[in-house]
Amino acid sequence: MAKLLKKPLKLALVQLATGADKTANLNRARSKVLEATGQGANVVVLPECFNSPYGTSFFPKYCEQLLPSPPSETQSPSYHALSALAKEAKVFLVGGSIPEHDPATKKYYNTSLTFNPEGKLLDTHRKVHLFDIDIPGKISFHESEILSPGNKVTLIDLPDYGKIGVAICYDIRFPELATIAARKGCFLLLYPGAFNLTTGALHWELQARARAMDNQVYVGLCSPARDMKAQYHAWGHSMVIDPNAQILSEADETESIVYANLEGEKIEETRKGIPLYSQRRFDVYPDVSEGKIRFGE
């Protein structure tokens, strides 16, 4: 079996302190990404909604179109800032996510943009599963009041390294996306995300380790830093998990950068020890793997 991760890679997750000023957020992201590449990072990740506060009321105010060609900097400042930054830092940059507006359909999305070290956009991921939850007395949040969902699994080839899967926050709760990415040969699943103090304490680490354990791949979750003065209190605790579901590195809730060295051998070693890949019984559960059995049926 060919190596999924072709050569060692240093991953950096920037747990950014974000605020209400978009330009300040973009500038801060630039300085942190440059700090990470100064430490030798080859792939750098920013958090969900890194250029704005997180909350449904903020999406229309902070949204941008995705227009690549100049003179579109005014309509797409984050797109252009990320592209320029990837080029300046000479790094693969997974640009967290930003609120996107598509004027053709008049729809809003929560969208992640990934650039190569030449500043070229490699792919976009629009959050597929919108964060709609109600936990009485704790948290009620409904992204679908404003946002529309994306409709694809996002797998991105990083030349020289291999393939990664990118999804956003609540997407992690749906293991199917992760499984498809792993089956299609990704070595790493990245989730810019902003869990909160209720679900973060319950499930953030568990989800990260579960996706790594199920699929025997590396997993990275990148949160904004916690700001108790903001409307939404992010959990923080950005972390990198290895293919054996162990935490390689983890932040607390404050602004910081989490680093980890990823090696292809670790995936092969894990899969050799516990060979889930050759033991799966598609003959016993073909309907589940093909999505034919649903809840309540």
Ligand X SMILES: NC(=O)CCC(=O)C(=O)O
Catalytic sites, residue numbers = 48, 127, 169
* Contact between residue 226 and residue 234 where contact means Cβ atoms under 8 Å apart: yes
Instruction: Choose, by CB under 6 A, the member of 59, 79, 170, 191 that binds ligand X.
Output: 170
- Binding of ligand X by 173 (CB under 6 A): yes
Closest CA to 86 of 155, 148, 33: 33
Minimum CB–partner distance for residue 55 and ligand X (Å): 10
CA distances from 293 to 27, 286, 288 (A): 48, 10, 6
Ordered alpha helix ranges (H), 102-204: 175-183, 197-199
Residue number, 31 or 57, with CB nearest to ligand X:
57
How many angstroms separate the CA atoms of 295 and 152, rounded? 22
Minimum CB–partner distance for residue 170 and ligand X (Å): 3
- Binding of ligand X by 128 (CB under 6 A): no
Closest CA to 189 of 197, 199, 179: 179
Instruction: Choose, by CB under 6 A, the member of 50, 79, 191, 195 that binds ligand X.
Output: 195
How many angstroms separate the CA atoms of 15 and 239, rounded? 10
Q: Which helix (H) or strand (E) holds 110?
A: strand 107-115
Minimum CB–partner distance for residue 198 and ligand X (Å): 8
Minimum CB–partner distance for residue 210 and ligand X (Å): 13
Burial category of 56 from C-beta neighbours within 10 Å (exposed 0-12, middle 13-18, buried 19 and up): middle
Minimum CB–partner distance for residue 199 and ligand X (Å): 3
- Binding of ligand X by 194 (CB under 6 A): yes
- Binding of ligand X by 112 (CB under 6 A): no
Main-chain phi, psi angles of 190, to 5 degrees: -115, 135
How many angstroms separate the CA atoms of 280 and 114, rounded? 32
- Binding of ligand X by 83 (CB under 6 A): no
Residue number, 62 or 195, with CB nearest to ligand X:
195
* Closest residue to ligand X, based on beta-carbon distance: 199
Residue number, 147 or 213, with CB nearest to ligand X:
147
- Whole-angstrom Cα Rg for the chain: 18
Residue span 47-76 as binding mask against ligand X, x where in contact by CB under 6 A, dash where not: -x----------------------------
150-169: which residues touch ligand X (CB under 6 A)? Answer: 169
* Residues that bind ligand X in the complex, under the rule CB under 6 A: 48, 131, 169-170, 173, 193-196, 199, 203
